[in-house]
Amino acid sequence: MDPRAQTDPREDIDRRPHLKICVLVKEVPDAAVEKRIDPSTGRMDRSGEKNLNPYDTHAIEAAMQIREGGAAEVDEIVAVTMGPASATRALQKAVSLGADRSVHLSDDALAGSDVAATGYALSKALEKESPDLVLLGQQSDDGECYTIGAVVADHLQMPSLTQVIKMDIAAGSLTCERQAEYGYDTVEISLPAVISVGDAINEPRYPSLKAIMGAKKKPLETVAAGDVGIDTSLVGADGSRVQCGDFHDPPAKAAGQIIEDEDTDETVAKIVAWLDERKLI
Amino acid sequence: MSSNGRHHAPSEYPPPVDSVKEFVKHGLDDEDERIDVGVAIVGGGTAGLSCANRLLQLLGDDPELLESLGEVPVAVIEKAKTCGGHNLSGAVMRPGPLQELFPDVSREDWRKERFAFGEVTRESIYMLPNGRTKISVPTFAVPNFKNHGNEVVSVSALARFQQARAEEAGAYILTETAASQLIVDRGRVVGVRSGDKGRGKEGEELSNFEPGTDIGAKVTVLAEGCWGHLTGAAIKQFDLGASREPQVWELGVKELWKVPKPLDRVIHTLGPWPLKVPAKYGHVGGSWLYPMKDEKTGDDLVSIGFVVDLDYADATTSVHDLLQQFKLHPLVKGILDGGERVGWGAKALPGGGYWSMPKLSMPGALLVGDAGGMVDAAALKGVHHCIKSGILAGDAIYDSLKRGTPLESYEQAIEDSSVGQELYQVRNTRQPLQKGFLKGSPLSGASIMSKGRIPRGRLPWHKGDQVPQFVGDTKDGYPKPDGKYTFDKLSSVYISGNATRDDAPNHIRLRRSVPREVAESWVWMCPAGVYEIPDDAPEQGNVDVTVNYTNCVQCGAITARGGRLTVPEGGDGPLYQLT
Amino acid sequence: MADVLTYVLHNEGAFNKNSLGAVSEGAAQAQSIGGECHAVVVGGDDLTDELCATLGGYGANKVFRAKGPEGLAQPVIDVMAKVIDDHGHGYALFGGGLLGFEIGAGLAARKQAGVTMEVISIKADGGKLVAERPILQDSKISDSHYQGELGIIIGRINAFEVKEGGSQAAEVVDVDVTYSPWNERAKMLTRGEQRGADVDIEGADILVAGGRGLGKAEGFELAESLAKAFGGNSAVAATRAVVDAGWYPYAAQIGQTGKTVSPKLYFAAGISGAIQHKVGMQSSENIVAVNKDANAPIFEFSDLGIVGDLNKVLPKLTEAIKAKKGS
């Protein structure tokens, strides 16, 4: 039943909080694409199929569930991404899943940004949008970014949690559950906030064909670094404070030992000795 | 052998499926429930995309007609994550049709776009009497394998290129979308229904269940490839197979290798090794080795594949394992040794040729490419026919929309074109081989040499799944996979990029309780290891087959051998890159 | 500068194992570049002088202690930023675990510093620390070189070994921090709630994993008994094949479509080691496999392989371990 039906019809003010939600999304290489290092550049070969980061679909779904849940009035859900021209596909997927419009932060100056630079750039784009809630996936499927939400939150000066697997919203605050080192934590966070969701939080919906085809018509705004006040000395390969490269092979693993079990008591004794040697028991 | 002493054929245990009842929907949903497009093309492979490319070229010059088709003039419905994700072929392609489709794109451009890998300048054909020696066969004796001037291509990469061109020209490419039903209204195809998403293992609706949508279209093109899901239903619904030979199928398993020294020629082998010669095995097949120069990475690659007709009698025939065995021949070792396997895949293809082609049009719809059986299995050529048929279909649809020309005119256009002419010439070439490699080769060879003048008339095919199976000893030759040069099925499935939802429903229809030899034939046949006989199954009597459908790479072979591959959830299956 | 600052998480008066590993690693690395290792702890009254001083035994010279909420990352960012500003540490180091990621990432933002995540080892190069992290499904290692005044290193879970060395007590220094205003907008209501049935496969030290070779669903009883014998932080895991067959729940699935783990010990019973499974557990520290098929691929990457009948080996091994542990 629609909770809104319970509102007194004589009241002309909707007392529920109004929310603007921004969802940060990222395009990542499809998990099935064989990843390799491009021998000519010594860098990761980024060609091949790209998809919307699967973790981000959970973030969009979380936004949709807030909208459909009725506890808050969601004014709009905006998908935001930073990436090259191809990143618009991720935005279209986000829109087909329910976002109302999207923002594409794209600028040559941003190429080669590390985690800190990327988080900073995204935070400037978000600042312009002035959201009440920023949602994003816990990590990106390409293993490039974990917890970029924490970076964004520090710049936006908002409270933040990651790995959130349950989120309830009521009157301007969120009650979040997340699984941390010692078990489940329940934390109350007041908006505006940045929440990174884990994949256990929900089961993302499939877009209907109508939604997929309608996605192209939803507004897509392309913004450059200058449009959102990014200090370019802090981004890009030059603005990044960590350089990754020098790919090399991991140390060769010593060949394993094989025991053919004939006398099981003897075999077991050998196993126990082996485990003991390594302080595993 | 089963307890009554008889050997059984897979066709005696038809799968529990009624394709007309299940896969043909009568009437479209209401306007606000459905989507309407101008032309719906089911299948984003080379044939379907060629049709889209051609049609949009024509519509590009005809803004009035384009507009009349509405917001979505052309929609391509593709079940893989991207066009090309489920496409696999050898392939050495005759260049004409692709040049005709894109006259502004040169062969150098093809290679820059990374779907073409070099012109053929040398070729060799061998017969392998055993695992150690080879006999060179002059090309004049096997002219169907003459390939000078042709181009080594990857259909998977080609489809991606064509997809980009189609999108630029205004097509809506709906990837990760299966077409589960053909929609018919008063005897006419009026569209297709997309597949449901979010069903569980037992077909139940999960929390994120999303039903499919009806897609209404003025014209529908079935470009699903080898015995496509809707194509099978359409053929039955409209009796498109009437007065034609039954279709027969072949299975090809392919690997891509990065090699230390480039292969300098295209190689075909005619068998028999490692296939068995005695007629009782029913083995017919051969192999290919094609060089590929990857201009982008500078890598030297080799495409290697083994193809076997799917009407064999020895249940232990496994094309994947035959390929592994084949690699042990010095001819192949000399090429692949020191290299690294970088790809694997499998796909069935229609081998019946001219007499087995179904009627290619029905009210409101056309068949293109492999779905229409347009493969020259003698020369292992079908890609250029896919493209040509796509072009002709595009032309026919345009004419029909513009001038009201009946869609059926497409059939004559095919007949008169290179597709019809080339397929006609080899129309009786492969049927003799159904009697056995030794028995059939003379007549088969004569047919090629005489350019189809003999044998005269129409040679029949008998259906492949009607062959009684026995558990033989073909399997004794398969090497134990060493994980470096020879590989097991599971790790091969892994590198195909196969990704299937853990709780996806089973898309394979199969009779579970069958005689052992039938069950064994499925176990060995499947290149992905989908079928298994449990360890505790009885030695005598029927056994229950376990179906690990999440391994399925959707090659389609099971449909030719007593089961039915129905369309899985969109987005599942392999993600071929350069096959 | 050559000093390393680590963060040490605690709960109910005990320090987190991964944090202690970070201190041990931090001490070793700091020494190699001529610096010291210090630790930061944030919490309440249970952070007594005695407790904090024990971090000296793992290699920390100083412990900076701040009063603040436990289990939340953002207050720690404030504390570490202040300590680094006041003392000029060149590296911030975190052991594996959720909070390390959150604090490290936030600190990267605060200090405009480079950060590397999922680090498995650290090396010294020309007086600077270089972090190594695996890429491409653990098939290659990528080196991270830092620029600027601070480099942030966040370890992969279980990557840094805990080394107890001296009995030297660390100096405990209290830090006065004004927390950023947004910290007031986060409040811990319940911390560390155990939820009984939920088994954390990813956090387990020892995993006993079962595959098809167990023969039937009941075969998992062998795996469960063995895991119980190992005791401590042990759990039972399963391959996709047996989860599909309904022998064990999906939450325990390891592999391409299940969880990825790197426990101290991965005991594979009746598992062939096909690549779909291998990718989920290949970075386990120690891999022991029991399989009756001598050609099973798992023997190619196991540290100890037993070719034999698991129905014979597992029960006897369970008893032997129980005996060894004296239970």
Interface of C with A in 124-163 (CB under 8 A): 134-148, 151, 154
Beta carbons of B483 and C297 less than 8 Å apart: yes
CA nearest neighbour of B95 among B76, B113, B108: B108
Beta carbons of C143 and A246 less than 8 Å apart: yes
Interface of C with A in 25-54 (CB under 8 A): none
Q: How many angstroms separate the CA atoms of C265 and B434, rounded? A: 56
- Provide the 10 A C-beta neighbour count for residue C246: 9
Tokens 């004004």, located at residue: C178
Q: Which amino acid is at C145?
A: H
Length of chain C: 327
Report how far apart the first and last C-alpha atoms of chain C are (Å, whole number).
50
- Provide the 10 A C-beta neighbour count for residue C180: 16
Beta carbons of C142 and A181 less than 8 Å apart: no
Nearest chain A residue (CA) to B194? A209
Tokens 């291509």, located at residue: B153
Which of A27, A47, A49 is the best substitution to test chain B (most B C-beta atoms within 10 A)? A49
pLDDT of residue A7: 52
Q: How far is B213 from chain A (nearest CA, A)?
A: 7
Tokens 């030979």, located at residue: B245
| Domains present along chain C, CATH in parentheses | 4-185 (3.40.50.620), 206-325 (3.40.50.1220)
Beta carbons of B490 and C300 less than 8 Å apart: no
Beta carbons of C194 and A185 less than 8 Å apart: no
pLDDT tens for each residue of C34-54: 999 999 999 999 999 999 999
pLDDT of residue A78: 98
Beta carbons of B490 and C274 less than 8 Å apart: yes
Chain A residues whose C-beta sits inside 8 Å of any chain B C-beta = 30-34, 38-40, 47-49, 51, 203-210, 212-213
Beta carbons of B499 and A48 less than 8 Å apart: no
Residue B3 has pLDDT above 60, yes or no: no
Q: Which residues of B touch C297 (CB under 8 A)?
A: 483, 491
Interface A-C, measured as beta-carbon pairs within 8 A, has a size of 256
Q: How many angstroms separate the CA atoms of C281 and A254, rounded? A: 17
- Provide the 10 A C-beta neighbour count for residue B560: 27
Nearest chain C residue (CA) to A244? C144
Could you give the angle at the alpha carbon of B351 between the alpha carbons of B348 and B356, nearest 5°? 125
- Token code pair at residue B423: 């397929």
Is residue C296 within 8 Å of residue C269, measured between CB atoms? no
pLDDT of residue C199: 65
In a domain, A165, yes or no: yes
Residue B193 has pLDDT above 90, yes or no: yes
Is residue B71 within 8 Å of residue B565, measured between CB atoms? no
- Token code pair at residue C263: 């426990």
Total of domains in chain A? 1
Beta carbons of B483 and C295 less than 8 Å apart: no
- Which residue range(s) make up the domain with A176? 16-239
Is residue B152 within 8 Å of residue B78, measured between CB atoms? no
Q: Which residues of A touch C200 (CB under 8 A)?
A: 179
Which of B201, B344, B502 is the best substitution to test chain C (most C C-beta atoms within 10 A)? B502
- Token code pair at residue C264: 């101290």
For residues B498-517, b (16+ Cβ closer than 10 Å) or e, as one string? bbbbeebbbbbbbbeebbbb
Give me the mean pLDDT over the A259-264 stretch.
93
Burial class (CB in 10 A: 0-12, 13-18, 19+), B65: middle
Q: How far is C173 from chain A (nearest CA, A)?
A: 26
pLDDT tens for each residue of C254-304: 988 888 898 999 999 999 999 899 989 988 989 999 999 998 999 999 999
Q: Which of B35, B82, B172 sits opposite A49 (nearest CB)?
A: B82
pLDDT of residue A12: 46
pLDDT tens for each residue of B328-381: 999 999 999 999 999 999 999 999 999 999 999 999 999 999 999 999 998 889
Q: Which residues of B touch A51 (CB under 8 A)?
A: 81
Could you give the angle at the alpha carbon of B247 between the alpha carbons of B442 and B222, nearest 5°? 135
Lowest mean pLDDT among A66-75, B1-10, B237-246: B1-10
Residue B222, CA distances (Å) to A87, A148, B155, B393, C110 in order: 31, 45, 18, 11, 58
The fold adopted by the segment(s) B21-194+212-334+341-427+436-460 is FAD/NAD(P)-binding domain (3.50.50)
pLDDT of residue B1: 45
Q: Which helix (H) or strand (E) holds B167?
A: helix B155-168
Beta carbons of C195 and A184 less than 8 Å apart: yes
Q: Which residues of B touch A38 (CB under 8 A)?
A: 297
φ, ψ of residue B411 in degrees (nearest 5): -65, -45
- Collapsing DSSP to helix, strand or coil, C137 comes out as coil
pLDDT of residue A163: 92
- Which string of DSSP letters, residue by residue, matches B487-507? --HHHHHHHTT-B--TTPPP-
Interface of B with C in 439-498 (CB under 8 A): 480, 483, 488, 490-491, 493-494
pLDDT of residue B271: 83
Beta carbons of C276 and B490 less than 8 Å apart: yes
Q: Which amino acid is at A27?
A: E
Q: Which of A30, A48, A210 sits opposite B213 (nearest CB)?
A: A210
Is residue C265 within 8 Å of residue C289, measured between CB atoms? no
CA nearest neighbour of B223 among B344, B62, B378, B392: B392
Give domain B465-565's CATH architecture: 2-Layer Sandwich (3.30)
Q: Is B453 left (phi over 0), alpha (psi -120 to 50) or beta?
A: alpha
Binned at pLDDT 50, 70 and 90, residue C244 comes out as: confident
Helix, strand, coil percent values for chain A (each to nearest 5): 35, 30, 35
Give me the mean pLDDT over the A177-205 stretch.
93
Q: Hey, is the C-beta of A242 within 8 angstroms of any chain C C-beta?
A: yes
Q: Hey, is the C-beta of A37 within 8 angstroms of any chain C C-beta?
A: yes
Q: A251 or B211: whose pLDDT is higher?
A: B211
CA nearest neighbour of B251 among B574, B554, B16, B486: B554
Nearest chain C residue (CA) to A192? C185
Binned at pLDDT 50, 70 and 90, residue B277 comes out as: very high
Question: What residue ranges of chain B are covered by domains with CATH 3.50.50.60?
Answer: 21-194+212-334+341-427+436-460
A partners (3+ CB pairs within 8 A) are B, C
Q: How many angstroms separate the CA atoms of B499 and B317, rounded? A: 27
In percent, the amount of chain B with pLDDT more than 70 equals: 99
Q: Which helix (H) or strand (E) holds A58?
A: helix A54-69
Q: Which residues of B touch C243 (CB under 8 A)?
A: 502
Give the torsion through C-alpha atoms of A69, A73, A76, A78, to 10 deg.
Answer: -50
Question: What residue ranges of chain B are covered by domains with CATH 3.30.70.20?
Answer: 465-565
Give me the mean pLDDT over the A112-138 stretch.
95
Beta carbons of C102 and A35 less than 8 Å apart: no
Beta carbons of C117 and A147 less than 8 Å apart: yes
In percent, the amount of chain A with pLDDT more than 90 equals: 67
pLDDT of residue A9: 54
Q: Which residues of B touch C241 (CB under 8 A)?
A: 548
Nearest chain B residue (CA) to A65? B208
Is residue B393 within 8 Å of residue B219, measured between CB atoms? no
CA nearest neighbour of A177 among C99, C188, C200, C96: C188
Binned at pLDDT 50, 70 and 90, residue B4 comes out as: low
pLDDT of residue B5: 64
- Token code pair at residue B100: 């005709």
Beta carbons of C143 and A244 less than 8 Å apart: yes
Residue B496, CA distances (Å) to A31, B177, B227, B528, C276 in order: 12, 20, 21, 10, 12
Beta carbons of B174 and A212 less than 8 Å apart: yes
In the Cβ-directed half-sphere of A188, how many Cα atoms lie within 13 Å? 8
DSSP C185: G
Tokens 């601070």, located at residue: C150
Give the torsion through C-alpha atoms of B544, B546, B549, B551, to 10 deg.
Answer: -140
Nearest chain A residue (CA) to B211? A208
Q: How many angstroms separate the CA atoms of B35 and A210, rounded? A: 7
φ, ψ of residue B30 in degrees (nearest 5): -60, 160
Q: What is the ipTM of this complex?
A: 0.89
Give me the mean pLDDT over the A11-35 stretch.
81
Interface A-B, measured as beta-carbon pairs within 8 A, has a size of 57
Q: Hey, is the C-beta of A178 within 8 angstroms of any chain C C-beta?
A: yes
pLDDT of residue A41: 67
C partners (3+ CB pairs within 8 A) are A, B
Q: How far is B60 from chain C (nearest CA, A)?
A: 44
Q: Hey, is the C-beta of B506 within 8 angstroms of any chain C C-beta?
A: no
Is residue A119 within 8 Å of residue C105, measured between CB atoms? yes
Interface of A with C in 58-97 (CB under 8 A): none
DSSP B141: G
Nearest chain C residue (CA) to A183? C192
In a domain, A6, yes or no: no
pLDDT tens for each residue of B90-149: 999 999 999 999 999 999 999 999 999 999 999 999 999 999 999 999 988 888 888 999
φ, ψ of residue A93 in degrees (nearest 5): -65, -40
Binned at pLDDT 50, 70 and 90, residue C202 comes out as: confident
Beta carbons of B208 and A203 less than 8 Å apart: yes
pLDDT of residue B284: 93
Nearest chain C residue (CA) to A36? C136
In the Cβ-directed half-sphere of B481, how many Cα atoms lie within 13 Å? 17
Q: Which of C241, C250, C275 sits opposite B494 (nearest CB)?
A: C275
pLDDT tens for each residue of B21-52: 999 999 999 999 999 999 999 999 999 999 99
DSSP A60: H
Residue C67 has pLDDT above 50, yes or no: yes
Q: What is the CATH number of the domain that holds A133?
A: 3.40.50.620
Nearest chain C residue (CA) to B481? C295
Beta bridge partners of B568: none
Report how far apart the first and last C-alpha atoms of chain B are (Å, whole number).
38
Give me the mean pLDDT over the B279-284 stretch.
93
Beta carbons of B548 and C241 less than 8 Å apart: yes
For residues B209-222, b (16+ Cβ closer than 10 Å) or e, as one string? ebebbbbbbbbbbb
Is residue C3 within 8 Å of residue C30, measured between CB atoms? yes
Spatial CB neighbours of C163, under 8 Å, sequence gap ≥ 6: C24, C28, C58, C59
pLDDT of residue C169: 92
Beta carbons of A209 and B499 less than 8 Å apart: no
pLDDT tens for each residue of B497-556: 998 888 899 999 999 899 999 999 999 999 999 999 988 888 888 999 999 999 999 999
pLDDT tens for each residue of A205-246: 999 999 999 998 999 999 999 999 999 999 998 889 998 888
pTM: 0.93
Q: Hey, is the C-beta of C216 within 8 angstroms of any chain A C-beta?
A: no
- Token code pair at residue C305: 């392989």
